[in-house]
Structure 1
Amino acid sequence: MSNAFSLLGLPRIAALDDDALQQAWLAASRSAHPDQPGGDAIRAAEINTAYETLQAPEKRLKHLLELHSVPWRTVPINEAMMSLFSKLGPALQSTTAFLKRKQNATAALAKALLAQEEMRLREQLEDLGATLDAERTTLLASLPAYDARLSAGDMTALADLQILQAHLAYFGKWQAQVREALLGLM
């Protein structure tokens, strides 16, 4: 496994600055681009893959854990996340059922009767999306504290980072599902 951090000349930390990441990627891409003298298509592809890995926090944390040789394990969903999921699951199911009814509605009156339910579903999904965004932002704000623990030699931070990575992955998936459901309601 290649080290995406070293490939882009970045420190091996969880909390990467987006601007620093992009600047490192641009600099590395310029020198490796196949159209440049001494450029190499394979190296350019590796640099792009490294950027994609480090750009998404859940992928970055997974990569960081792999570099620390932390074995993969299943991470259970905590109570707060389960509570959120218990609202999200039914909302997504209701939206799917509604979209089927809307697709089958051919008369203008039938479509008009569905408008109020559509608005309620849209508001519910938007509220859930805002909650997911806020929770994800809170998790991302905790990354510097994990870096501080790791730099102080606290290796228990790796187990906690594994849980954080799993939670970020859940939130990312749920956010994508909410966006897709909202697009369906357009």
Structure 2
Amino acid sequence: MTPDSFAIFSIPRRTAIDSAQLQASYAALSRAAHPDHGGSEEAASSVNAAYETLRFPEKRLKHLIEVAAPEGAKAWRTVPLDESMMAVFMELGSALDASAKLLERKSKAASALAKALLTNEELVLRERLETIGFGLEERKTGMEAGFTQLDERLESGDDTVWKDIAATQARLAYLAKWQTQIRERLLAMM
């Protein structure tokens, strides 16, 4: 069974958490769990793993489902992308494809002049990827703003909330994956 990261940090099982409070708790717990301060490698590892789980909303929601959802809600389900998420997926796919082709042409460019001729296209693609990345961050922030309502439903005992938490978690996981792809591509283009 997965250790309960919420219990390790002594915080309620919720979708929304205070990041500053989590950071402060992490500093105190990691200090106390560190082998140099009377803790153990195992305790320090547990605190670090719990922090990484709670720190990222897509991981936190997945963990919340694992430790608190009724068995029926834990089953994996395909979460279809709505039209706006599908549009972002298509735009990102196109930008990643174009940037991969540019990187390939750039690697084959034999002279400094040939590479310089690709600079404008590279700048346009970098800007396109950055714009998509900013849009993904805005979507993520918007989804996180809905955590309060999810938590209110959880606290009221509304068992239908688990389906919405699972759908939110899946969408956040897509966003996180796409953000990683953008970061990696932008690094490759440096």
Q: Per the shorter chain, which TM-score range?
A: over 0.9
- Identify if the C-alpha distance between structure 1 residues 40 and 109 changes in structure 2 by more than 3 Å, giving closer, same or farther: closer
In structure 2, the residue matched to 1:52 is 52
In structure 2, the residue matched to 1:25 is 26
Deviates more, 1:2-11 or 1:39-48: 39-48
**Equivalent position amino acid for 1:58 in 2:** E
2:156 is aligned with 1:152 = yes
CA distance, structure 2, for counterparts of residue 153 and residue 133 of structure 1: 31
CA distance, structure 1, for counterparts of residue 33 and residue 130 of structure 2: 42
Give the alignment's TM-score, normalised by structure 2. Answer: 0.92
RMSD between aligned alpha carbons?
Answer: 1.3
Shift of 1:176: 0.9
Alignment partner of 1:109: what SS? helix
Q: What does 1:25-44 correspond to in 2, within 5 Å? A: 25-37=26-38, 39-44=39-44
Shift of 1:109: 2.5
In structure 1, the residue matched to 2:11 is 10
**Equivalent position amino acid for 1:166 in 2:** A
Deviates more, 1:26-35 or 1:129-138: 26-35
Q: What does 1:56-67 correspond to in 2, within 5 Å? A: 56-67=56-67
Instruction: Return the match for 2:116 from 101, 112, 137.
Output: 112
2:136 is aligned with 1:132 = yes
Runs of 4+ in structure 1 over 3 Å off: none
In structure 2, the residue matched to 1:99 is 103
Alignment partner of 1:2: what SS? coil
Aligned residues: 185
**Equivalent position amino acid for 1:180 in 2:** E
CA distance, structure 2, for counterparts of residue 159 and residue 125 of structure 1: 32
Shift of 1:119: 1.6
Counting aligned pairs with the same residue, the percent is 47
**Equivalent position amino acid for 1:25 in 2:** Y
Shift of 1:34: 1.4
Shift of 1:72: 2.1
Instruction: Return the match for 1:183 from 179, 182, 187.
Output: 187
Does the 8 A contact of 1:146 with 1:157 survive in 2?
A: yes
CA distance, structure 2, for counterparts of residue 184 and residue 26 of structure 1: 33
